[in-house]
Amino acid sequence: MKAEDVIICRCSDVSLKDLYTLFEQGYDSFEELKRIKRVGMGPCQANTCGKMVQWEIAKYFNRSLEDVKFANMRPFTLGVKLDAIKEACDDEDE
């Protein structure tokens, strides 16, 4: 399968070829890739693509997997509507 046909990040539509292009330019960490290509920044918050990105960095730069830092995990785990947050606060206030 061609690298351009392998989708790594479904939320932000990033292919393996996109990653290779950035690797060639010297971007070698998850945090950098995230910032340039939005990989891992969509609704799934790297829950789908995260491990694959980590694995591809390790392979390309010939590093062991544990030496490749995972993306910084931030809240939320799941998307929550702003209205739902507001309503929850209103309930507490009552």
Partner 1 sequence: MKTNKPFPDKANYVIIGGGISGVSVAWHLAKKGAKDIVVLESEYLSYGATGRCGAGIRQQWSTKANVLLAKKSIEFFENAQDLLDYDDDIEFKQEGYLIVGTDEEEDRAFKENVKLQQSLGVPAEFLTPKEAKEIVPHLNLDGVTSATYCKTDGHLNPFKMTDAFYKAAKKLGVSFFTHTKVNDITVKNGKIESVQTTKGTIEADVVINAAGGFAQDIGEMAGVEIPVKSQNREILVTEPIEKIQGPMVISFSRNIYCQQTPHGAFIMGRGDDRDFSQSMHSTHQFLEAMAKTATRLLPPIGQLRVIRQWAGLYNFSPDSQPIISGSQDVEGFYMACGFSGHGFMLAPMTGQIISEMVLGEPSSVDTESLSLARFEKGAAKTMEQNVV
Please give the residue ranges that form the binding site for partner 1 (CB under 8 A).
Answer: 26-29, 31-32, 35-36, 38, 41-43, 45, 61, 74-76, 79-83, 85-86, 89
**Beta carbon of residue 23, minimum distance to partner 1 (angstroms, whole number):** 9
| Closer Cβ to partner 1, 8 or 34, answer by number | 34
| Closer Cβ to partner 1, 1 or 75, answer by number | 75
Written as six digits, the tokens of 16 are: 């393996």
Distance (Å, whole) CA 32 – CA 25: 11
Residues 13, 51, 4, 41: what is their CA dihedral angle, to the nearest 10 degrees?
20
**Beta carbon of residue 37, minimum distance to partner 1 (angstroms, whole number):** 9
Segment holding 7, helix H or strand E: strand 7-9
* DSSP tag of 73: P
**Beta carbon of residue 1, minimum distance to partner 1 (angstroms, whole number):** 26
Residue 9, SS3 per DSSP: strand
| Closer Cβ to partner 1, 67 or 75, answer by number | 75
